[in-house]
Each structure stands twice: as C-alpha cells, then as structure tokens.
Amino acid sequence: MSNPTTLTDEQLEEFGAELDAIRRRIVDSLGEDDATYIRNVVKTQRAFEVAGRALFYLPPAWPLAVAALSVSKILDNMEIGHNVMHGQYDWMGDPGLNSRRYEWDTMCPSEQWRYSHNYIHHTYTNILGKDRDIGYGVLRMDEDQQWRPYYLGNPVYATLLMLFFEWGVLLHDLEVERIVAGERTWADTKHLHRGMIRKVRNQTLKDYVLFPALTGPLFPMTLAGNAVANLVRNVWAFGIIFCGHFPAGVATFSEDETEDETRGMWYYRQLLGSANITGSRLFHLMTGNLSHQIEHHLFPDLPARRYPQIAEEVRDLCERYGLEYHTGPLRKQLGSVARKICRLALPTRRRTTPEPVEQPLAA
C-alpha cells in the first residue's frame, strides 16, 4: 500500500485515531440542544416560506416576497436538506428529519442525490476519474483533466451551471457526458427517469402553476418571483459548493494513490481536498455550514451545528501535524475559483525546466 501523504505511517494512524476520538466525543454528546436547533431552523424556514408565498398578494412587497422565498429555499436545501440527507439527525428518530425520507425543495429527487453525493462524492472525494463532482462532467477544474478544445467554453459552461444549478444537480446522475462518450447508454439511466419526472412535475406545478394561479391576476408577477427565488438559490448554492473544493491549493488525488487507503489516509484526503470559508454565524447558517467544508468532509454525518466546535480541534491537529488548513473569506475563495475556471479553459503549459548549466562561482 502506498503512502502518498506527507506523514509517516505511524503519524497517519495516530492522526486517524485522534479524529476518531473527536467523532466519538461528539456522538456521545448529541442530545436535546441539537434537536432543538434543527427544529428551530425548520420553523424559521417554514415561516420564511409562508411569508414569501403570502407577500406575493401585495404587489409592492414583491422584492420582499422574493427575498423571503429565496431564504426559505436556501435554508431548505442547505442547512436542512443537505445535512438531514447526510443522516446528521437520524439519531433523533424523527421521520420528518430522517435521511431516507427527507425530500427537499429542489428538482433533484433526494434519493438520487444521496447516491451521487453521499456515496460517490463523499467516498471518492477529489479522486480524479471517480469523484464526478470535480467539474460535474462538464467543466475542467483540475490540471490533470486532459485539455480538449471543448474546454475553451469553461467560463460559459460554469455560468450556465450556476444559473441552472438545480437542473444540473438533477441531471448529474444521468452522467450525460459518459453517454455522449459512448461509455454508457440511455437505457442504463432508465431507473432514474420516473423519479426525476415525478419530482420535476411536483416542483414545476407548485412554483410555476399553482401558487401563481392562487394569486389570480398577479399570476405573472408571482411566477416571475418564484423563478427569481429559485435562481437566487441556484447562484448561492453553486458559489458555496464550488468554494468548497476548488480554490487554489486544494489537493486532488489519483486512483492509484488512494487504493487500499487506511482510515488515516481517508481523513487526510478529506482534509486536504476541502476548503473552508470564513464568515459570521448567519453566513455559516445560510451556507448550511458548508463553509465548514473541511469538518463536513471529515464527519459528514455529524450535525453541522457542531462544525465550528470541531473546527477548533481540527486546526489544532493540523498545526501539530504540519498540514495545511485551507480557509479564507468568500470573496477570496470565489475569486480563486473563478480564476481557476478561466485559466483551465486553456491548455496547461507544462513547466519546462531548463537544462542545468555550469556556472562560475563568482560573477
């Protein structure tokens, strides 16, 4: 088994054991406070949702309605949906907060997302060729992805993916790029179609037919408002998620490096393959605590509200083991990601090291 890390085998093992110990401590202390927290977030989200839907009846309040509905959708998808579907609250035994039952307010059926995200992305994080979240099959996000002229459109594809993010997530599992490449047939995706169609129908019916219709003559305004709220959520979610794995310095791995990896190595890969975003408590809430991407990747099924607390211990660990802890404010991380998207549209120039030449000691 290879050890591609900067740590010795013993260090890696110790490192893994320390993280396991953090995990055990958190699991043992889960209780009432965590349950109350997530229930309050749910209450807040539902209140924004109801307020948003209601404010469409007051035409001058249109911007407020859109804002409220956007907040509702962001909370629903991120702090609630994403985290509940990771099983962070399964220990509560509440069917309304159960990972296998929760359905979120977005196009992609939760069942399909759980497979591609929880399983594929979280298991094979940043392993080129395995983690389909690297570029989502459309973008070039890593130097080691072979350049093709197609990638000249990288910034355009990224913009489109941002605007239509919920559709991108929906179609993710079809692996269209592999169908195009002939590695997969349309028939292979058949099991996904029914769930997709049903969810898209429900979401469309609600946002683009029923709620607009309920506002009578204000139909077009309400329809537009719902569309904008979905768009706001798309842009926000895309931004946060792309800051989680693609800022400069975040590592990717090859399949060879990660064969038979130990628990310690898995943790190591999760740590170096993720980046945090700094910000206020409200900001963390609105990102679904994905601003603590590192802690989330180390412990995807621990309640996100514990990530700030865990972060302190992880930073300390990084210092002791001399590992990098990628973090920065949103603007810096976004800029870094945007530059990467543009830079990788062009072929990567292989750094040519000049032949060493003999040189006199003194000039």
Partner 1 sequence: MSLTRTILRSPAVAALTSPHGVDRYLELVNPMWAAHEVRARVVRTHRETHDVTTLTLQPTSTWPGFAAGQHVQVGVEVDGTRHTRCFSISSSDLARRMRGDRTFTITVRAHDDGVVSKHLARHAGVGTVLHLSRAEGEFTLPPLLPRRLLFLSAGSGITPVMSMLRSLVDLRYEGRLTFVHHARTPEETIFADELDEIAQLPNVDVTVLHTRLGDKRLNELQLTALAPAYADTLTYACGPAGFVETVRELYAGRDTLRVEYFKTSTLPPDDEAATGTVRFARSGQTAANTGATLLEQAEALGLRPEHGCRMGICRGCTTRKTEGTVRHAVTGAESSAPDEDIQICVSRPVGGCAVDL
Contact call for residues 251 and 144 (beta carbons, < 8 A):
no
Establish how many alpha carbons lie within 13 A of residue 306's alpha carbon, considering only the half-sphere containing its beta carbon: 26
| Nearer to partner 1 among residue 48 and residue 246 (C-beta) | 48
Our CB check for partner 1 shows the closer of 75 and 341 to be: 75
Residue 88: name the closest of 333, 310, 280, 276 by CA: 310
CA distance 238 to 255: 26
Is 275:243 a contact under the CB 8 Å cutoff? Answer: yes
Specify the 3-state DSSP secondary structure of 327: strand
- Of 119 and 150, nearer to partner 1 (C-beta) is 119
Pick the closer one to partner 1 by CB: 39 or 184.
Answer: 39
Query: How open is the CA angle 111-117-119, to the nearest 5 degrees?
Result: 90
260: left (phi over 0), alpha (psi -120 to 50) or beta: left
Q: Residues 142, 128: contact at Cβ < 8 Å?
A: yes
Residue 327's beta-bridge partner residues? 276
Q: How far is the CB of 91 from partner 1 (least distance, A)?
A: 6
Task: Name which of 76 and 175 has its Cβ closer to partner 1.
Answer: 76
Nearest distance from C-beta of residue 103 to partner 1, angstroms: 4
Answer for the pair 225, 207: CB distance below 8 angstroms, yes or no: no
- Give the residue with the Cβ less far from partner 1, 180 or 210: 210
Q: How far apart are the first and last CA of the chain?
A: 49
Closest approach of Cβ 26 to partner 1, in Å? 12
For the CB of residue 5, give the shortest distance to partner 1 in the complex, in Å.
Answer: 22
CB of 110 to partner 1, least distance (A): 8
> How distant is the alpha carbon of residue 156 from its chain centre?
20
Nearer to partner 1, 96 or 249 (CB): 96
Measured CA to CA in angstroms, residue 304 lies from 6, 35, 63 at distances of 29, 12, 30
- State the minimum distance, in angstroms, from the CB of residue 202 to partner 1: 5
CB of 144 to partner 1, least distance (A): 25
Strands (E), 94-249: none
The DSSP result for 211-228, as a single string, is HHHHTGGGHHHHHHHHHH
> CA torsion 109→112→115→117, rounded to 10°?
-60
In the bound complex, what is the minimum distance in angstroms from residue 277's beta carbon to partner 1? 28
| Shortest spacing between CB 46 and partner 1, in angstroms | 6
Partners of 158 in beta bridges: none
The residue among 110 and 154 lying less far from partner 1, judged by its C-beta, is 110
Across-strand partners of 229?
A: none
CB neighbours of 254 closer than 8 A, spacing ≥ 6?
127, 128, 129, 144
Nearer to partner 1 by Cβ, of 45 and 336: the residue is 45
Residues that bind partner 1 (CB under 8 A): 30-36, 42-43, 46, 50, 87, 90-96, 98, 100, 103-105, 119, 123, 199, 202-203, 205-206, 210-211, 214
